[in-house]
Structure 1
Protein backbone atom coordinates (compact mmCIF):
# COMPACT_ATOMS: atom_id res chain seq x y z
CA UNK A 1 0.00 0.00 0.00
CA UNK A 2 1.11 3.56 -0.68
CA UNK A 3 0.09 6.83 0.87
CA UNK A 4 -1.83 9.05 -1.51
CA UNK A 5 -2.86 11.84 0.89
CA UNK A 6 -1.94 13.06 4.38
CA UNK A 7 -4.04 15.77 6.03
CA UNK A 8 -5.31 17.05 9.36
CA UNK A 9 -8.45 18.43 7.70
CA UNK A 10 -11.34 15.95 8.05
CA UNK A 11 -13.19 17.57 5.13
CA UNK A 12 -10.23 16.89 2.80
CA UNK A 13 -10.10 13.28 3.96
CA UNK A 14 -13.85 12.78 3.38
CA UNK A 15 -13.71 14.48 -0.03
CA UNK A 16 -10.69 12.44 -1.14
CA UNK A 17 -12.29 9.19 0.02
CA UNK A 18 -15.48 10.03 -1.90
CA UNK A 19 -13.51 10.92 -5.04
CA UNK A 20 -11.59 7.66 -4.93
CA UNK A 21 -14.75 5.64 -4.28
CA UNK A 22 -16.39 7.35 -7.26
CA UNK A 23 -13.49 6.19 -9.44
CA UNK A 24 -13.75 2.63 -8.09
CA UNK A 25 -10.44 2.83 -6.23
CA UNK A 26 -10.55 1.15 -2.82
CA UNK A 27 -8.93 3.36 -0.19
CA UNK A 28 -8.08 2.76 3.46
CA UNK A 29 -7.93 5.57 6.01
CA UNK A 30 -5.16 5.15 8.56
CA UNK A 31 -4.58 6.91 11.89
CA UNK A 32 -8.30 7.55 12.41
CA UNK A 33 -8.20 6.93 16.15
CA UNK A 34 -4.97 8.81 16.84
CA UNK A 35 -7.00 11.73 18.20
CA UNK A 36 -7.08 9.82 21.49
CA UNK A 37 -3.35 10.44 21.80
CA UNK A 38 -3.42 14.13 20.88
CA UNK A 39 -6.41 14.99 23.07
CA UNK A 40 -8.79 15.47 20.10
CA UNK A 41 -6.87 18.54 18.96
CA UNK A 42 -6.51 17.23 15.42
CA UNK A 43 -2.77 17.85 15.23
CA UNK A 44 -1.89 14.34 14.06
CA UNK A 45 -2.56 13.86 10.34
CA UNK A 46 -4.67 11.08 8.90
CA UNK A 47 -3.47 9.16 5.86
CA UNK A 48 -5.30 7.67 2.92
CA UNK A 49 -3.67 4.55 1.54
CA UNK A 50 -4.32 2.80 -1.76
CA UNK A 51 -2.93 -0.34 -3.38
CA UNK A 52 0.35 0.07 -5.24
CA UNK A 53 -1.34 -0.68 -8.57
CA UNK A 54 -3.90 2.13 -7.99
CA UNK A 55 -1.51 4.79 -6.70
CA UNK A 56 -0.83 6.66 -9.95
CA UNK A 57 -4.51 6.96 -10.89
CA UNK A 58 -5.51 7.86 -7.32
CA UNK A 59 -2.82 10.55 -7.06
CA UNK A 60 -3.89 11.97 -10.43
CA UNK A 61 -7.56 12.08 -9.43
CA UNK A 62 -6.73 13.90 -6.19
CA UNK A 63 -4.36 16.34 -7.94
CA UNK A 64 -7.06 17.13 -10.52
CA UNK A 65 -9.26 18.17 -7.58
CA UNK A 66 -6.54 20.22 -5.82
CA UNK A 67 -5.75 17.58 -3.22
CA UNK A 68 -2.22 16.25 -3.04
CA UNK A 69 0.58 16.60 -5.53
CA UNK A 70 0.77 15.61 -9.18
CA UNK A 71 2.64 12.28 -9.57
Structure 2
Protein backbone atom coordinates (compact mmCIF):
# COMPACT_ATOMS: atom_id res chain seq x y z
CA UNK A 1 0.00 0.00 0.00
CA UNK A 2 1.14 3.53 -0.70
CA UNK A 3 0.29 6.79 1.02
CA UNK A 4 -1.90 9.03 -1.09
CA UNK A 5 -2.82 11.87 1.29
CA UNK A 6 -1.73 12.97 4.76
CA UNK A 7 -3.82 15.64 6.47
CA UNK A 8 -5.27 16.91 9.75
CA UNK A 9 -8.44 18.00 7.93
CA UNK A 10 -11.12 15.43 8.79
CA UNK A 11 -13.46 16.90 6.18
CA UNK A 12 -10.81 16.30 3.52
CA UNK A 13 -10.34 12.73 4.78
CA UNK A 14 -14.08 12.18 4.41
CA UNK A 15 -14.19 13.77 0.94
CA UNK A 16 -11.24 11.74 -0.35
CA UNK A 17 -12.77 8.59 1.12
CA UNK A 18 -16.07 9.32 -0.63
CA UNK A 19 -14.30 9.91 -3.97
CA UNK A 20 -12.34 6.67 -3.65
CA UNK A 21 -15.46 4.75 -2.62
CA UNK A 22 -17.36 6.19 -5.59
CA UNK A 23 -14.60 5.04 -7.93
CA UNK A 24 -14.52 1.61 -6.27
CA UNK A 25 -10.90 2.08 -5.15
CA UNK A 26 -10.13 0.29 -1.89
CA UNK A 27 -8.36 2.47 0.66
CA UNK A 28 -7.32 2.51 4.27
CA UNK A 29 -7.33 5.48 6.67
CA UNK A 30 -4.58 5.18 9.27
CA UNK A 31 -4.33 7.10 12.55
CA UNK A 32 -8.04 7.93 12.47
CA UNK A 33 -8.54 6.78 16.05
CA UNK A 34 -5.47 8.56 17.40
CA UNK A 35 -7.70 11.54 18.26
CA UNK A 36 -8.79 9.61 21.35
CA UNK A 37 -5.20 9.51 22.55
CA UNK A 38 -4.35 13.09 21.56
CA UNK A 39 -7.54 14.50 23.09
CA UNK A 40 -9.28 15.42 19.79
CA UNK A 41 -6.84 18.27 19.12
CA UNK A 42 -6.22 17.25 15.51
CA UNK A 43 -2.45 17.31 15.92
CA UNK A 44 -1.74 13.93 14.37
CA UNK A 45 -2.48 13.74 10.64
CA UNK A 46 -4.57 10.97 9.15
CA UNK A 47 -3.03 9.01 6.29
CA UNK A 48 -4.98 7.60 3.37
CA UNK A 49 -3.39 4.62 1.66
CA UNK A 50 -4.34 2.76 -1.51
CA UNK A 51 -3.09 -0.47 -3.02
CA UNK A 52 -0.03 -0.16 -5.25
CA UNK A 53 -2.11 -1.20 -8.27
CA UNK A 54 -4.60 1.64 -7.65
CA UNK A 55 -2.18 4.52 -7.05
CA UNK A 56 -2.29 5.88 -10.59
CA UNK A 57 -6.11 5.79 -10.78
CA UNK A 58 -6.47 7.31 -7.31
CA UNK A 59 -4.04 10.14 -8.08
CA UNK A 60 -5.85 10.90 -11.32
CA UNK A 61 -9.21 10.87 -9.52
CA UNK A 62 -8.03 13.39 -6.91
CA UNK A 63 -6.36 15.53 -9.56
CA UNK A 64 -9.58 15.61 -11.59
CA UNK A 65 -11.43 16.61 -8.41
CA UNK A 66 -9.09 19.59 -7.92
CA UNK A 67 -7.22 18.04 -5.00
CA UNK A 68 -3.81 17.52 -6.59
CA UNK A 69 -2.26 19.91 -4.06
CA UNK A 70 -3.18 17.44 -1.29
CA UNK A 71 -1.39 14.46 -2.85
CA UNK A 72 1.82 13.15 -1.33
CA UNK A 73 4.81 13.30 -3.68
CA UNK A 74 4.85 10.38 -6.08
CA UNK A 75 7.88 8.17 -5.55
Match of 1:42 in 2: 42
Q: Normalised by the size of structure 2, how large is the TM-score?
A: 0.84
Q: Displaced runs of 4+ in structure 1, greater than 6 A?
A: none
Query: Bigger shift: 57-66 or 10-19?
Result: 57-66
Unaligned 5+ segments in structure 1 are: none
Calculate the aligned-residue CA RMSD, in Å: 1.5
Give the whole-Å Cα distance in 2 for the aligned partners of 1:22 and 1:55. 15
- CA deviations over 1:12-71 (Å, ceiling 9, x no partner): 000000000111101111001111332210011001110000011101111222222485
Tell me whether 52-61 or 30-39 shows the greater mean CA deviation: 30-39
Q: Normalization by structure 1: what TM-score?
A: 0.88
* Structure 1 CA distance for aligned equivalents of residues 6 and 48 of structure 2: 7
Cα distance between partner residues in 1 of 2:24 and 2:52: 15
In structure 1, C-alpha distance between the alignment counterparts of 2:63 and 2:31, rounded to whole Å? 22
- When structure 1 is superposed on structure 2, of 60-69 and 44-53 the one drifting more is 60-69
Q: How many aligned residue pairs are there?
A: 71
